Amino acid sequence: MTDLAELVAAYDRPVELGKGKLLLQMEAQGGGAEARRLAGSPDPAERRLAARLMHLLPEPEHLEALERLVTDADPDVAQQARRAFAGQRRTPEWHAAAARLHFSD
């Protein structure tokens, strides 16, 4: 988890060159699957990292976890999850989840 957290932190810092390499590294380290695992953590910092990874690495598999995270008790987690949810591909499953969440596009 530490490597992924460091990659996300590096991505969020201003840089003069592109950030594509960082995204490739996150993907290579299984960032999507790790994000879904972290989404169930009792630690709000890990859930926030999960939501940020889901934002950076959108995948249809994230929707179930994001549905839970957008209503997280921690307001920072919920806010990051709403951003991540908005950044996912607009599939029929996304639209169904958005309707359940009363989320407007």
Residue by residue, pLDDT tens for the chain (105 residues) are 568 888 888 888 876 667 788 888 999 999 999 999 999 999 999 999 999 999 999 999 999 999 999 999 999 999 999 999 999 999 999 999 999 998 865
Q: How many domains does the chain have?
A: 1
Q: How far is CA 50 from CA 16, 25, 39, 65, in A?
A: 26, 16, 5, 9
Domain that residue 32 falls in: 2-101
Prediction pTM value: 0.84
- 75: Cβ–Cβ under 8 A, 6 or more apart, which residues? none
Contact 13, 39 (CB under 8 A): no
- Give 71's DSSP letter: T
